[in-house]
Amino acid sequence: MRGFTACPDDRDISAVVTVLDPNNMPVDLGSGSKPEVVRNVELGTYSVVIETTPALPGPYHFIVRFEPAFGTEQVDVYVAENRLDATPDLVVGDAAEALARCPLLDVSAGGDVVCLSTGVVFGRDGGTPGALGGRVVRDGPVYWVAGDTGVSRWLERDGGFELSARSTAIDCDVLAPWGGDVFCAADRHLARIGFADGGLVWGSSSWQPPVSPRALWRQGDTFILTTPNEFCTGDFTDGGVCESASASLFMGDYVVVGNEPTGLSVSVRDGRRDAKSLVRVRAKRQLSRVELPEGWLETGAGTSWGASPAFRSDAGLWLVGDDAHGEPLFQRYPELPFIGATTRWVAFRWGGGVALFRR
């Protein structure tokens, strides 16, 4: 860490270091809590080197106080969770090619592998694949599906998936579940769909969203909706407000890289500094912003509900999950051909099959 000074060269400068771990507990640095201060007379700067071995993955908060009264520097450093030696929780050999073409794979409570992108189900007994009939979002044991035949609701039973209700009167491009119902967005239309008396019931918001919805996130009645050109936030009852992508709260070009209950994750590029950050938001409130190392590139299918952020760099693949406090948790997995990541599962090619790791 580096500080700046215009004081005479002969002034003695010391530093006191405090480091807080992901649980906001102090890290024992021993003698490292008072490191040597290195001064660059030509640049008028001074710096310290801090060495510590992290015991936990997650964000570490470094505080350096330069004395006497030369100011304080603070920085957050994220430590990745090391899962390079992890073994898969499930390996599927049958229909491996079809699975490998699906960027969003989920495993049901009964052990069926579901492609959330297409609704194809690969049975737990290795039998002929079934189909739910469209794009899928999962809400616990309930699977909501939007396809050419409308919207349907499925439940997992002991014998597999059972259709509980369907309606051909509803058109959906994107879905977002929460608390037993689901939001459905299409061109100029936002609806809430629930289940009652053996059928689907729905109501429409008075607000008309723009055309071509790409990502839909929600928490209760609040929502975020993105299109290729607009970023919209609002409430189902009160309506929404849209702004152009270039003028949005991110203050830079952005790409949606994750859509999970904890928030919508976007990769934001700051053209002025040629830097990139991972930002997680809920509605209009920014939750967290982490500056990413140079050279990280987005990979995966980030707009669908349940999609988890993934990046590639020269060092390999980096996935982003959540720690116990809801903060971004960077993860490293074995160097295998990557298929995709969801909130619950990460999928890789595994020899002639597909390996799934539980998050």
pLDDT in tens, 148-193: 889 999 999 887 899 999 999 989 999 999 999 999 999 999 999 9
What tokens were used for 231? Answer: 């970023």
Residue 6: strand, helix, or coil? coil
99-144 confidence digits (pLDDT tens): 888 999 999 998 999 999 999 998 765 566 788 999 999 999 999 9
Residue 254 has pLDDT above 90, yes or no: no
Q: What are phi and psi of 30, to 5 degrees?
A: 60, -135
Cα separations (Å) of 108 from 39, 66, 143, 284, 327? 58, 54, 10, 33, 26
Q: What CATH number does the domain containing 71 carry? A: 2.60.40
Residues 70 and 94 in one domain: no
pTM for the model stands at 0.87
Residue 143 sits in the same domain as residue 230: yes
Q: 46 with 149, same domain? A: no
Both 75 and 219 in one domain: the answer is no
Question: Which residues neighbour 234 within 8 Å (Cβ) at sequence distance 6 or greater?
Answer: 207, 222, 223, 225, 240, 241, 283
Task: Name the domain boundary from 79, 111, 144.
Answer: 79
- Is 196 within 8 Å of 189 (Cβ atoms)? no
Predicted pLDDT of residue 4: 47
Element (H, E) at 99: helix 96-100
Query: pLDDT by residue (tens digit) across 50-109?
Result: 989 999 999 999 999 988 877 899 999 999 999 999 999 999 886 667 788 899 999 999
Domain count, the chain: 2
Per the domain annotation, does 84 fall within a domain? no
Question: Do residues 338 and 348 make contact, with C-beta atoms less than 8 angstroms apart?
Answer: yes
What Rg value do the Cα atoms of the chain yield, rounded? 24
Tell me which residue range forms the domain holding 267: 90-358
**Looking at the structure, do residues 57 and 133 belong to the same domain, yes or no?**
no
Q: Does a structural domain hold residue 60?
A: yes
